[in-house]
Amino acid sequence: MRRNFFQLRLLPATLSIATVACGTSSAASRSSAGQSASSPAAVVIDAGHGGFDRGGIPGQSVPEKEMTLDVAQRLKALLADSGYRVIMTRDSDVFVPLATRVSIANSYQNAIFICIHFNSAKRVGADGIETYFYSRDSLPLASAVHYFVAGGAPSPNRGVRRRGYYVLRKTRVPAVLVECGFLTNPTEAQYVQNASYRQKLAEEIAAGIRGRSSVASTLSSARVATGESIPLQSYIDQTKARSSDRSRSKRSSKKSSKTKSSKKKKSSQPAESEANATQKEGGG
Ligand SMILES: [Zn+2]
Average pLDDT over residues 124-145: 95
Residue bearing the bigger pLDDT, 22 or 91: 91
Segment among 86-95, 110-119, 151-160, 208-217 with least mean pLDDT: 208-217
Domain ranges for the chain, please list them: 26-237, 252-283
Residue 284 CA to ligand 1 centre (angstroms): 7
Residue 167 CA to ligand 1 centre (angstroms): 12
Q: Can you spell out the DSSP letters for 121-190?
A: -SSTT---EEEEE-SGGGHHHHHHHHHHHHHHSSS-EEEEEE---HHHHS-SS-EEEEEEEETTSHHHHH
pLDDT greater than 70 at residue 172: yes
The DSSP output letter for 251 is T
Pick one of 3.90.1150.10, 3.20.20.140, 3.40.640.10, 3.40.630.40 as the CATH number of 26-237: 3.40.630.40
Residue 40 CA to ligand 1 centre (angstroms): 28
Reported confidence tier of residue 41, pLDDT bands at 50, 70, 90? confident
Reported confidence tier of residue 212, pLDDT bands at 50, 70, 90? confident
**pTM of the entire predicted model:** 0.69
User: How far, in whole angstroms, is CA 257 from its chain's centroid?
Assistant: 24
Report pLDDT digits (tens) over 229-269: 333 333 443 333 333 333 334 343 344 444 444 443 333 33
Q: List the beta bridge partners of residue 87.
A: 44
Residue 86 CA to ligand 1 centre (angstroms): 21
Residue 56 CA to ligand 1 centre (angstroms): 6
The residue among 136, 121, 194 whose CA lies nearest residue 168 is 136
Residue 177 CA to ligand 1 centre (angstroms): 9
Report pLDDT digits (tens) over 189-200: 999 999 999 999
Residue bearing the bigger pLDDT, 230 or 39: 39
Average pLDDT over residues 141-170: 95
- Residue 111 backbone dihedrals phi, psi, to 5 degrees: -125, 165
Residue 217 CA to ligand 1 centre (angstroms): 31
Residue 191 CA to ligand 1 centre (angstroms): 17
